[in-house]
Amino acid sequence: MMFTIRGIPTAGIAVGTAFVLQRRASAAATAAAGDPVAEAGRFHAALERAKAELSALAEGEAVFAAHLEMAGDPMLAGLVEGRIAEKHLSAEQALGEACEEVCGMFAALDDDYLRGRTDDVRDVCARIGRILSGETAHDPFAGLAPGTIVVADELTPSDTAQMDFSRVAGLVTAHGSVTSHVAIIARNKGIAALVGVAGCMRQVRTGDRLIIDGERGELIVDPDPATGRKYAARLESLRQDAFRCAADAQAPAVTPAGRRITVLGNAANVDEVRRALDAGAEGIGLFRSEFLYMQGPALPDEETQFAAYRAAAELCGARPLTVRTLDIGGDKALPYMHFEPEENPFLGWRAIRVSLAMPELFRTQLRALLRASAFGNVRVMFPMIASVGEFRAAKAVVETCMAELDAEGVPYDRDIALGVMIETPAAVFIADELAARARFFSIGTNDLTQYVMAADRGNPRVAYLCDAFDPAVQRSIGMVLDAAHRAGIEAGMCGELAADPRATQRLVALGLGEFSVGPPAIAPLKHRIRTDK
């Protein structure tokens, strides 16, 4: 009997046969504590072995290069060592607590992409824990039949690294979000996925026939013949579209009416800049700088930041590299920085407010960005601007840094563009005043939607209100674009709405001339712009 389970719309369409992943229980967390010195020694031995494994894996999968960095982060080792010494825990228990603390830090971030990296943290810690417990590696995906749809409570990068994706039609998980590892790997591999499918582990059995409709957020179990034929036809149509999209990925996006639309990429590190450009991006519309601040036990110095920004700028060349200045705060604190708890951190001390209140932190980043601007087309974007005064103050710090570099004889782009990320209703209402002072706008629809609708998108009780297609949000976008056009400045969009197929033609009609999306969305977006559908 056919039935449907709802999930979070994620990616693609697939028809296949279920393989339900059942985890083997681990007793690692219950290990008895020994001498603290011995426990610390056990942990470091396991850590070194894990790093050796990850180093080998990193040669074939970029995600494991990031895992290797996490394993080598002194912060993780420090948290484990502290718990062993202070609480006399076993290495396994200390690792478990440290893992939860680091995951909590990522989960508190307001940036969807970075929040989704808790999957990676848990995977790294699970690898170390497996080595500590003496468990042997196990490949549950050996011998998968072609056309398999893997169903699991959750899937880690270590899981997907073992999969032969020529045999995997799709992925289904009970947990996760559109920015979790499963969603990202599915988009990168071009396969279907569905996350947040509560109950899938109870209602699906290995061998069941399944259809993933990742666009509608549906998992169809035991489809009837008519439903099967309908989705087979849709799959064939999608294959033909994908072929056409890939063939023209590097070509400009021009509408049927002859209007040129710029398609940029979003990136969270230098490697993702390269991936975006290879996928057809005409530059980077959002370079998240937070990754630099989450790699070590202290704030990154000017030279560390300069090296990363320069590498990204040189990759882009004459193409724009738009760097968002540090976006942290009460809801997204760093482990080595103390932030007082706030009742409502989304409306609290964060983003540009933190930067302006911590001038040395801000100056260090801006000096690094200015120096990197000598090596490419760097643009600087200030997040969470809510007043003209904030933009003026940020610009004044830039000018101070310019004067310092002039005195030191350090080259930089004297005409560097300074822009505003439009994320607050206040910025929407004063968009005309901001447009008179900024060189460009970028609309961050994720935050803008939740602020306009007064609904936390992470709260399932009110998540239904976080709809970027709501007339209030659409009207806000229109107001921003109108203000930018009147002032003659560029206006782009870097939020999730920019990649939503349902929004492309509406945004083009509103006058949006610059889209910034993740690498897998670039070619399909260009195709939709060209074909007007």
Nearest by Cα to 275 from 445, 521, 501, 57: 521
Describe the chain by its helix, strand, coil percentages, rounded to 5. Answer: 50, 15, 35
Neighbours of 513 (CB within 10 A): 17
Tell me if 122 is assigned to a ligand binding site.
no
User: Could you tell me which residues come within 8 angstroms of residue 235 by beta carbon, excluding any fewer than 6 positions away?
Assistant: 13, 14, 15
Whether the Cβ atoms of residue 495 and residue 446 lie closer than 8 Å to each other = yes
**Which single residue is written with the structure tokens 């976006």?**
327
Active site residue 181: yes
Q: Which amino acid is at 523?
A: A
Tell me if 288 is assigned to a ligand binding site.
yes
Strand arrangement of the beta sheet that strand 192-195 belongs to: 3-6, 218-221, 209-213, 13-20, 148-152, 168-173, 192-195, 8-11
Tell me if 457 is assigned to a ligand binding site.
yes
- String of DSSP letters for 273-296: HHHHHHTT-SSEEEEEGGGGGGSS
Q: Residue 265 and residue 412: Cα distance in Å, rounded?
A: 24
What tokens does 211 get? 């259809």
Which of 99, 181, 466, 527 is flagged as catalytic?
Answer: 181
- String of DSSP letters for 442-464: EE-HHHHHHHHTT--TT-TTTGG
User: Euclidean distance between the first and final Cα of the chain, in Å?
Assistant: 36
- String of DSSP letters for 489-509: -EEEE-SGGGG-TTTHHHHHH
Nearest by Cα to 115 from 188, 193, 190, 184: 184
What tokens does 532 get? 């007007």
Q: Which amino acid is at 330?
A: G
Q: Residue 436 and residue 455: Cα distance in Å, rounded?
A: 31
What tokens does 20 get? 């339900």
Nearest by Cα to 417 from 370, 479, 487: 370
Chain centroid to CA 464: 21
Q: How many CA atoms lie within 13 A of 169 on its CB side?
A: 19
DSSP state of 521: H
Tell me if 482 is assigned to a ligand binding site.
no
Reported as type and span, the H/E element at residue 388 is helix 388-408
Q: Which amino acid is at 40?
A: A
Q: Residue 286 and residue 264: Cα distance in Å, rounded?
A: 8
Nearest by Cα to 65 from 178, 184, 162, 161: 161
Which of 125, 200, 245, 494 is flagged as catalytic?
Answer: 494
Sign, CA dihedral 203-209-211-212, equals positive
User: Could you tell me which residues come within 8 angstroms of residue 130 by beta carbon, excluding any fewer than 6 positions away?
Assistant: 26, 28, 137
Q: How many CA atoms lie within 13 A of 351 on its CB side?
A: 23
Q: Would you list which residues are annotated within the binding site? A: 288, 324, 423, 446-447, 457
Binding site for phosphoenolpyruvate, by residue number, is 288, 324, 446-447, 457
What amino acid positions are annotated as catalytic residues?
181, 494
Residues annotated in a binding site for Mg(2+): 423, 447
